[in-house]
Amino acid sequence: MNTIEAIEARRAIKHYDSDHRMSPEEERRLIELAMLSPTAFNIQNWRFVVVRDMEIRKKIRAAAWDQAQVTDASLLVVLCGNLSAWKQNPANYWRNAPQAVQDFLVPAIEGYYSGKPGVQRDEVMRSCGMAGQTLMLAAKAMGYDTCPMDGFDYEEVEKIIRLPDDHVISFMIAIGRKTQDSWPRPGQLDYNEVVIENGY
């Protein structure tokens, strides 16, 4: 599917064929495409918790206002971020670059994130946003639909997936075969309401 078509056709879908499961190959392909999304300094701070186990999905559904797509979709991905990615062997993220690039960029990573928990958290949310949108568009192109979700009890889901202390959840995405279309776009802002020329 053409990129522009995928962008235009993607909508948040709530109703899925609960009998359908993706093949392991499709699942891996989707995540590998999401992994091509950019991250600042190439720190690849996203972590994809792929939830297939139905008992765990039921627990997450209970923590997500009982939204049916959590269990009915073919797959549920919890997009998490590792707040410590920047300091965990950062040279590894640039290991194949020319030495001069490594010498410049690797120390810059420490300078950018060290002692700045707000910056680390913003980076996780941004990275997961980009990777999540890649995943949703790739899924659309592969014939699937998706539902991005942040309507759930974050602390509860963190416990269910046993998230490490230095990780946070950004959002979740349900992926599957839709059984019902979404409603029409419910109230979009005009171009001039969200686009500012040169400055406020």
User: Taking CA 79 as the corner, what is the angle to CA 168 and CA 70, rounded to the nearest 5 degrees?
Assistant: 115
The residues in 164-183 that bind a copy of itself, with binding defined as CB under 8 A, are 164, 170-171, 183
Backbone angles phi, psi at 12, to 5 degrees: -75, 115
Interface with a copy of itself (CB under 8 A), residue from 19, 25, 99, 198: 198
Q: Is 157 exposed, middle or buried (0-12, 13-18, 19+ CB in 10 A)?
A: buried
Contact predicate 161/59, CB 8 Å: no
Contact predicate 136/10, CB 8 Å: yes
Taking the complex as a whole, the smallest distance from the CB of residue 97 to a copy of itself amounts, in Å, to 4
Identify which of residues 72 and 163 has a Cβ nearer to a copy of itself in the complex: 163
Backbone angles phi, psi at 57, to 5 degrees: -60, -40
Distance CA 11, CA 184 (A): 9
Interface with a copy of itself (CB under 8 A), residue from 72, 127, 172, 174: 127
Interface with a copy of itself (CB under 8 A), residue from 163, 172, 174, 175: 163
Interface with a copy of itself (CB under 8 A), residue from 40, 68, 87, 179: 40
Identify which of residues 19 and 191 has a Cβ nearer to a copy of itself in the complex: 191
When asked if residue 107 is in the footprint of a copy of itself (CB under 8 A), the reply is: no
Q: What does the per-residue mask of binding to a copy of itself show for 62-101, with x meaning CB under 8 A?
A: ------------------x-----------xxxxxxx--x
